[in-house]
């Protein structure tokens, strides 16, 4: 995060306060319109967890909602319901991430918080996966998160404040039968978050990783494989949204939803052989 790093597209140079380096003439007006609110960019906001987060944050009136998703129709409905701004974008490419960051900064002049909720799933034998599916999983679940954080974090650090909330998965902590690639992509966020926290000490920017278990959303329909396990049962997306709100306002580094799913992770760490035997039998 050196000040000498070249600018990324139309984004302010790294180390330059967004207040002094707007990306468009409309940014000053956008900042004025925020009043006392903070701007939060929510990806994956057209449905599922992202949409629930938008609904929950809209209720308090504390946040200016910048909402991104691929489905323009559904995203528009969520934006209308939450008084948010729709910024439709496909995050499977680096250029899509750059365009979203530029659009968010151009609209509001700053992004005070990022909720990275966009995600892509696939279930089945790994030998049945095509390279195209593998690439999209990695692009959306891993690369998009890293790119957006890379684009938005320098302005947060230069201001001395900001929030990063990354939506991982318990699958990334434990591994799940039939979801090897998906678990790998979500697992990649765990060391990324842990490592980045060390860099953020003393900067005023906080990072929280939210690890949900299975969630009752259209996620399973879109991956063309319904959730069939008898345990654990999918929880409402609203519970994850509540955890995200806690992550945005509290000081926790990691939140597992529901909390009891943290126990299998502890068992895996303390007694991996026992955990694997149980997982083979019941997983």
Catalytic residue numbers?
182
Measured over the CA atoms of residue 166, residue 167, residue 168 and residue 170, the dihedral's sign is positive
136 neighbors 180 (Cβ within 8 angstroms): no
Contact 88, 69 (CB under 8 A): yes
Q: Do residues 235 and 258 touch, judged by C-beta distance below 8 A? A: yes
Measure the CA dihedral 54/55/56/57, to 10°: 50
Tokens in use for 141? 């679940």
Using alpha carbons, select from 54, 140, 152 the residue that is nearest to residue 105.
152
Q: How far apart are the C-alpha atoms of 7 and 16, rounded to whole Å?
A: 10
First to last CA, the chain: 43
List the beta bridge partners of residue 167: 210
118 within 8 A of 139, measured Cβ to Cβ: no
Q: How many Cβ atoms sit within 10 Å of the Cβ of residue 124?
A: 15
Contacts of 146 (CB under 8 A, 6+ apart): 192
């Amino acid at each position: 995060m050196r000040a000498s790093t070249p600018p990324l597209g139309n984004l302010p140079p790294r180390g330059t306060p967004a207040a002094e380096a707007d990306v468009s003439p409309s940014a000053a007006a956008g900042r004025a319109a925020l009043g006392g609110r903070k701007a939060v960019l929510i990806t994956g906001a057209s449905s599922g967890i992202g949409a629930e987060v938008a609904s929950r944050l809209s209720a308090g009136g504390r946040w200016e909602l910048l909402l991104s998703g691929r489905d323009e129709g559904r995203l528009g409905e969520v934006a209308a319901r939450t008084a948010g701004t729709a910024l439709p974008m496909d995050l499977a490419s680096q250029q899509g991430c750059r365009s979203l960051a530029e659009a968010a900064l151009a609209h509001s002049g700053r992004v005070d918080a990022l909720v990275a909720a966009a995600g892509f799933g696939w279930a089945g034998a790994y030998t049945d996966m095509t390279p195209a599916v593998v690439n999209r999983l990695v692009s959306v679940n891993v690369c998009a998160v890293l790119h957006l954080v890379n684009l938005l974090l320098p302005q947060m650090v230069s201001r001395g404040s900001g929030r990063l909330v990354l939506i991982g998965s318990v699958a990334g902590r434990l591994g799940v039968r039939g979801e090897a690639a998906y678990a790998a992509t979500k697992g990649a966020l765990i060391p990324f978050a842990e490592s980045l926290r060390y860099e953020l000490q003393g900067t005023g920017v906080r990072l929280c990783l939210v690890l949900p278990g299975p969630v009752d959303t259209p996620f399973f329909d879109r991956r063309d494989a319904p959730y069939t396990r008898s345990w654990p049962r999918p929880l409402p997306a609203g519970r994850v949204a509540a955890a995200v709100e806690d992550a945005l306002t509290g000081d926790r580094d990691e939140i597992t939803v529901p909390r009891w799913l943290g126990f299998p992770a502890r068992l895996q760490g303390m007694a991996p052989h026992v955990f694997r035997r149980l997982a083979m039998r019941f997983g």
